[in-house]
Amino acid sequence: MVDFTVAICTYNGANRLPEVLENLKKQVNTEGFSWEVIVIDNNSNDDTPQAIAIARETWPASIPFHAYFESQQGAGFARKKAICEARSPLVGFLDDDNLPEPNWVAAAVQFAREHPQAGAYGSQIHGAFEAEPPPNFRRIQSLFAIIERGSQPLCYDPKSNLLPPSAGLVVRKQAWLDNVPERCILSGRIPGSMLTSEDLEVLSYIQKSDWEIWYNPAMEIEHKIGRSRLQRAYLLPFLRGIGLSRYVTRMVRIPPSLRPLAAIVYMVNDLRKILQYLLKYRTQIKNDLIIEGEFELLTSSFISPFYLWKHGYLKKESGIP
């Protein structure tokens, strides 16, 4: 049994993973607790296994290091594997493009001690861009897991439908095991599908059970965003995938008897937003990448229940008909 687990979920991260591990070697103020690092290789087809083996050769003996393979593609499956393998009551998730500050682990453990009702809490996340983002990128930066919500801790209001991303997220293992279904509806992006928000589905189940979800600015990470993710070919499908997943994340906390009515209310509201957006930006949608992306997000949110039903996501056993 250890006090804290850092879980790095990676897919084809051979070139990114070493830098994350180097930052973890530099963690400070960890003398008062024990912690471990685990890497979940989510079915990579590059040199990720070799990168893990090389890192193991120089890894400090004072920090346990383990690697596991998850063959089911999708970040949701990788995180579930991490929860199963972690030996601690707290699991801190890093993606293979997240670079934690030297006090990230210590700040995570301290926050858990000070907030025993926090079932999960997210980091303050700064963007590190390989190329200049498009104009007005700040309007959508939170969808890219760039979270800068001030210097004070913040408890997310369940009524706000606002939750932290999985990058830099710490979860109490018991809160996950007690409340997250064995198989969620959303599993994360895979080759050929940009459907996402699997992290928000998990957090919705935890928050629904009366655990608190927090933002902890003392935990800071740098999120590296490559040039290709800022271009139209990636950005529009990315935002479409977020929109198409929204029916699931919207319905988790709504009682089953009220879901049909809630779905209608959401669709009417989405349609209202679409019409307002067209009136405001009709001449700019095809000329401004961010405006086009926001419109893609709105229209995808509107058709989300139809898309998920058509593609078999909303089966009876899912619990969200």
Q: Do residue 264 and residue 291 come from a single domain? A: yes
Domain boundary among 227, 262, 293: 227
Whether 79 is in a domain gets the answer yes
Report the alpha-carbon distance of residue 223 to residue 129 in Å, rounded.
Answer: 8
> Is 140 found in the same domain as 288?
no
- Residue 321 is assigned to a structural domain of this protein: no
Query: What is the span of the domain harbouring residue 255?
Result: 233-311
Cβ(274)–Cβ(298) below 8 Å: yes
Same domain, 298 and 215: no
Residues 211 and 258 in one domain: no
Is the CB of residue 223 less than 8 Å from the CB of residue 144? Answer: yes
Judge if 177 and 288 occupy the same domain: no
Residues 26 and 80 in one domain: yes
CA 211/CA 175 separation, integer angstroms = 8
Q: Are residues 293 and 219 in the same domain?
A: no
Residue 144 and residue 41 in one domain: yes
In-domain check, residue 238: yes
Cα 214–chain centre separation: 14
Tell me the residue type at 294: E
| Total count of domains within the chain | 2
DSSP conformation class of 156: P
- Category of 19 on φ-ψ map: left (φ > 0), alpha (ψ -120 to 50) or beta: alpha
In a domain, 168, yes or no: yes
Same domain, 207 and 243: no
As a whole number of angstroms, the distance between CA 108 and CA 121 comes to 9
Q: Each residue's pLDDT tens digit in the chain (321 positions)?
A: 899 999 999 999 999 999 999 999 999 999 999 999 999 999 999 999 999 999 999 999 999 999 999 999 999 999 999 999 999 999 999 999 999 999 999 999 999 999 999 999 999 999 999 999 999 999 999 999 999 999 999 999 999 989 999 999 999 999 999 999 999 999 999 888 889 999 999 999 999 998 999 999 999 999 999 999 999 999 999 999 999 999 999 999 999 999 999 999 999 999 999 999 999 999 999 999 999 999 999 999 999 999 999 999 987 445 666
Identify the pLDDT of residue 321. 61
Q: Which CATH number covers residue 177? A: 3.90.550.10
What is the reported pLDDT for 315? Answer: 75
Q: Which pTM was predicted?
A: 0.95
Task: Kindly state whether residue 254 falls inside one of the protein's structural domains.
Answer: yes
Q: What is the pLDDT of residue 179?
A: 97
- From the CB of residue 4, how many other CB atoms can be counted at a distance below 10 Å? 23
Given this model, what pLDDT does residue 191 score? 84
Same domain, 220 and 260: no
Letter string b/e over residues 87-124, b meaning 16 or more CB atoms within 10 A of that residue's CB: bbbbbbbbbbbbbbbbbbbbbbbbbbeeeeebbbbbbb
The H-or-E segment that residue 55 falls in is: helix 48-57
Q: Find the length of the chain.
A: 321
CB 131 within 8 A of CB 224: no
CA–centroid distance for 110 within its chain: 22
Establish if 319 belongs to a structural domain. Answer: no
Structural tokens at position 52: 């893990």
Q: Please say which residue of 178, 205, 227 terminates a domain.
A: 227
Q: Tell whether 174 and 190 lie within a shared domain.
A: yes
Flag whether 265 is in a domain: yes
Pairwise CA distance, residues 195 & 189, whole Å: 5
Q: Of 193, 227, 261, at which residue does a domain stop?
A: 227
User: Same structural domain for residues 294 and 187?
Assistant: no
317 inside domain: no
Task: Round to whole Å and give the CA distance between 19 and 22.
Answer: 5
CB 244 within 8 A of CB 304: yes
